[in-house]
Amino acid sequence: MLRKKHNQVIDTYKGTYKSENTTPYREIFPNFVAMIIQLHKPKARMEELDFLKFVFITLMIAFHLTYIGDTYPIAKRLVYTFHMPGFLLVSGYLFNVNKSWAAFRKTMIWIFIPYAVMESGYTVMASLLPIREHIDHLTIGVLIDHIFLHPMGPYWYLHTLMICGIFYYIAFKKPEGRFSSVLKQEKTLLPLKMLSWENQVLLGRFALLALFLWLLSHGIGLLSIANAAYFLIGVIIRHVVGNFRQAFPIQWWTVGLLVVWCIDPSHYDKASFAGACVVFLVIGSLLWLYQLGIPHPLRKPFLFIGRNTLPLLLFSPIFTILAKSYQSLLLRVDSTGITFMIISVLFAITGSYSITWIMDKTEASKLFFGKKGIVN
């Protein structure tokens, strides 16, 4: 009986099984193939997230230029309210914990190695150069403290990302055995069945992660509680909302509301509710701007930079420091510093990717990043 049924199915795809309710294979087979292709097709990147990361990383480089930060202190306060909080929120959303411990450990190692190298270099440089974070007496203890506990300069983001990521993985690690099916589904759970077992487990995991991050912030002082909170919000959006776009109002009025909200400089505090509103409105406004349309000549480089932010996080400080060598020359041409800022940002981006390209060509990237072709 089963064999007969099986042959009927095969004959249907061959077009030899005749029935009033049977669709010829010429109609079924293309749809079947399309379905299989769709199932195996890799998920498309959400380009809006790359655009957000482009904006945030570019602002980070611009305001790491000492002259720009000193000349435009209000603008610096505003940018610091949302650019790295926004980056952490996106990082929490994108961070992948659906992998084995071995794969996750490998990921962390190859974030830690370049982080440790560059943080060490920055700490040594701070002991030699007259910068704001100058170290009067460098010792092994001071170096270890800055690498593991209190990072200096721009590398705190990678330090925060690793700590938050590790405890996110611990809190959301899928259990083995009979409970392993609880969190296998990728679809949004809340608020469809608020009291379901799956949602109780999910809420428990959120609570556990929040507890971990609170203890690391208030108990040990390894993290800023505000930075940890933005990462956690990204995680919540991932598991509760699912689609990042649906978590923010992508409407024209967000731009107007953002302008009105930012009139009051007291709102420029990422650790306050007002600051969180700035982050929310900035992301909504940028998503609306992207939806409105980025000019084609700019769209491709913007998204490229957004996809490849790690080299900029690691190497751009080298070039923002070197920018001081030609700062006075450009300020004679444009005293506002805008020309200096644009040239310096382009210099930092080009220089950072050039270092990465050289490391690829010399095979050094395998030792530094764990693989070739870190830029894609």
Residue 190 sits at φ, ψ, to 5 deg, of -85, 145
Q: What is the pTM of this model?
A: 0.82
Tens digit of each residue's pLDDT (9 = 90 or more) over 233-282: 999 999 988 899 999 988 899 999 999 999 999 999 999 999 999 999 99
**Between 366 and 37, where is the model more confident?**
366
Instruction: State the CB neighbour count (10 A cutoff) for residue 223.
Output: 23
Find all residues with CB under 8 Å of 100, minimum gap 6, and list them: none
What's the token pair of residue 35?
């379905």
Res 192: pLDDT:
52
In a domain, 4, yes or no: yes
Structural domain of 2: 1-41
Find all residues with CB under 8 Å of 36, minimum gap 6, and list them: none
Res 333: pLDDT:
92
Residue 297: alpha-carbon gap to chain centroid: 24
Q: How much is the average pLDDT of 164-184?
A: 70
Q: Within 13 Å and on the Cβ side, how many CA atoms surround 279? A: 27
Res 93: pLDDT:
96
C-alpha–C-alpha distance, residues 182 and 132, integer Å: 50
Res 152: pLDDT:
84
In a domain, 103, yes or no: no
DSSP letter string, 106-125: HHHHHHHHHHHHHHHHHHHH
Find all residues with CB under 8 Å of 207, minimum gap 6, and list them: none
Q: Residue 268 has what DSSP assignment?
A: -
Angle at CA 190, nearest 5°, toward 186 and 196? 95
pLDDT above 70 as % of the chain: 81
Peptide bond into 191 cis (omega under 30): yes
Residue 64 has pLDDT above 80, yes or no: yes
In a domain, 22, yes or no: yes
C-alpha–C-alpha distance, residues 267 and 80, integer Å: 12
What's the token pair of residue 348?
């930092």
Of 309, 286, 282, whose CA–CA distance to 82 is shortest? 282
Tens digit of each residue's pLDDT (9 = 90 or more) over 108-166: 999 999 999 999 988 888 888 766 777 888 889 988 988 999 898 889 999 999 999 99
How many separate domains does the chain show?
A: 1
Please report which confidence band the pLDDT of residue 184 belongs to, taking 50, 70 and 90 as the band edges.
very low
Residue 177 has pLDDT above 70, yes or no: no
From first CA to last CA, the distance across the chain in angstroms is 54
C-alpha–C-alpha distance, residues 12 and 277, integer Å: 59
Please give the helix or strand (H or E) that residue 301 lies within, else none.
helix 296-307
Tens digit of each residue's pLDDT (9 = 90 or more) over 315-336: 999 999 899 999 999 999 999 9
In a domain, 137, yes or no: no
In a domain, 7, yes or no: yes
Of 166, 252, 248, 173, whose CA–CA distance to 213 is shortest? 166
Amino acid letter, residue 105: R
Find all residues with CB under 8 Å of 312, minimum gap 6, and list them: 57, 60, 61, 305, 348, 349, 352
Residue 178 has pLDDT above 80, yes or no: no
C-alpha–C-alpha distance, residues 275 and 78, integer Å: 9
Tens digit of each residue's pLDDT (9 = 90 or more) over 198-208: 777 888 888 88
In a domain, 319, yes or no: no
In a domain, 196, yes or no: no
The mean pLDDT of the chain is: 84
Res 194: pLDDT:
58
Q: How much is the average pLDDT of 349-375?
A: 90
In a domain, 58, yes or no: no
